[in-house]
Amino acid sequence: MKDSIIKKFYIGGLDAELFTPFTISSGSHRSLENVIFTLESAGGIKGFGEAAIATHITGETRAGTVKSLRRAGGLLAGRDAANYLGAMCLLEEALEGNRAALAGAQMALLDLICRIQGVSLWRFFGARVPKLKTDVTVVIGDAAAAYDFTVKMRGRGFRIFKVKTGSDMDEDFRRLEAVKKAAPGAAIYLDANCAYSAAGAGKFIKELARRGIRPEVLEQPVPKDDIDGLAWLSRRLPMPVCADESAYSLDDVFNLIKKKAVTAINIKLTKLGFLRAREVWALARAKGLKLMMGEMVESELASAAAAQFAGGLGGFDFIDLDIPFFIRNSGMTGASFLSRDGVYSLDRVKAGIGIAPGAKK
């Protein structure tokens, strides 16, 4: 049998505790409960992918994702990884309705072919930016918690704070003032996860300016279908307005751009899969939009894959790949190219994504 034939697949749970619940305005992750998809070639090389489940954002479930990945494994087994593009397209169709599974299956396939070829995923995507530094997220909570967390992470070397807002406006002002006090001069990104009306978001930004706080980007201020609201804010606000929940597909992005509704797009592999994510990257860049690379609640494996996609292609203005810093112990091995101050040194990855699930300590 040819070495590059996909011989077997494995599906397993990936469970890990978080140091703190990852709470945003639309819901909360108390722990990481993802799925690992592994492909093995006839030559004995393995490729690993991670499907990130974010039920409160996407409606996808773990049981449904496992089912989709079983289907993906059935489609891929016996195929030659050398025709990976054909296999990627097959997955696009089969897993259209379960993007977490699509991203996980494509990640495993790309990891496998890069390992077979002895190149990193970063090199495969173009090797344009060797180092990326991520922001770190200040989750929804009280002002004292925001202050303590920011002091701690600033001490570790983080300089960009992505503040989740949208559950209580007065508390959000206190939280943002606490972040500013704890990290003077640091950059602040805002993510409301659909919480405001357009007028409400405008008022929120105006009141922040009065308090001397000017965020570098405002992500998803309004509900995902409020395209007119996004456009209204994009015309009025001085900072980029970034679509995340509103940019769930290539069609979404095409329409957002056509209507001049946003000035930035948050690309997540878990929303789009790899092929569509690259198309969104190309389209957004062609039209001069800014780009954020983001993720759901994802371990070192999927986070490193996203970092290599972004650093390989280049042109990303905002990097939001900080979930590894919230995970107590995922059991992943090989993450030494991610430093504790949030720098991904992508030029140090040897083959594939460079991360593998290992035995938990």
| Nearby residues of 220 by Cβ (< 8 Å), 6 or more positions away | 191, 192, 193, 194, 242, 243, 244, 245, 246, 266
Question: Which one, 111 or 244, has the nearer CB to Mg ion?
Answer: 244
Residue nearest to Mg ion (CB): 244
CB 196 → Mg ion: shortest distance, Å? 14
- Among the listed residues 60, 226, 244, 252, the single contact to Mg ion using CB under 5 A: 244
Of 155, 88, 111, 149, residue with least CA distance to 301: 111
Question: Which one, 226 or 244, has the nearer CB to Mg ion?
Answer: 244
CB 117 → Mg ion: shortest distance, Å? 33
Total residues binding Mg ion (CB under 5 A): 3
Question: Which one, 111 or 135, has the nearer CB to Mg ion?
Answer: 135
Q: For the window 66-85, what string marks contact with Mg ion as x by the rule CB under 5 A? A: --------------------
CB 94 → Mg ion: shortest distance, Å? 27
CB 162 → Mg ion: shortest distance, Å? 8
CB 219 → Mg ion: shortest distance, Å? 5
Report how far residue 225's alpha carbon sits from residue 122's, in angstroms, rounded to the nearest whole number. 34
Q: For the window 194-233, what string marks contact with Mg ion as x by the rule CB under 5 A? A: -------------------------x--------------
Question: Which one, 98 or 165, has the nearer CB to Mg ion?
Answer: 165
Please answer whether residues 77 and 8 qualify as being in contact, where contact means their C-beta atoms are separated by less than 8 angstroms: yes
CB 23 → Mg ion: shortest distance, Å? 13
Q: Using CA atoms in the order 189, 195, 197, 203, what is the torsion angle rounded to 10 degrees?
A: -40
Where does 46-197 have alpha helices with state H? 55-58, 62-76, 84-94, 99-117, 121-124, 143-156, 169-182
Is 111 a binder of Mg ion (CB under 5 A)? no
Question: Which one, 120 or 303, has the nearer CB to Mg ion?
Answer: 303
Is 191 a binder of Mg ion (CB under 5 A)? yes
Helix axes 99-117, 269-286, angle to 10 degrees: 80
Of 347, 308, 353, residue with least CA distance to 125: 308
CB 302 → Mg ion: shortest distance, Å? 16
Is 135 a binder of Mg ion (CB under 5 A)? no
Q: What sign for the dihedral angle of Cα 176, 177, 178, 183?
A: positive
Question: Which one, 60 or 244, has the nearer CB to Mg ion?
Answer: 244
Q: Helix, strand, coil: what percent of the chain each, to 5?
A: 45, 25, 35
φ, ψ (nearest 5 deg) of residue 25: -65, -25
Please answer whether residues 73 and 95 qualify as being in contact, where contact means their C-beta atoms are separated by less than 8 angstroms: no
CA angle 144, 292, 199 (to 5 degrees): 65
Binding residues (CB under 5 A) for Mg ion: these are 191, 219, 244
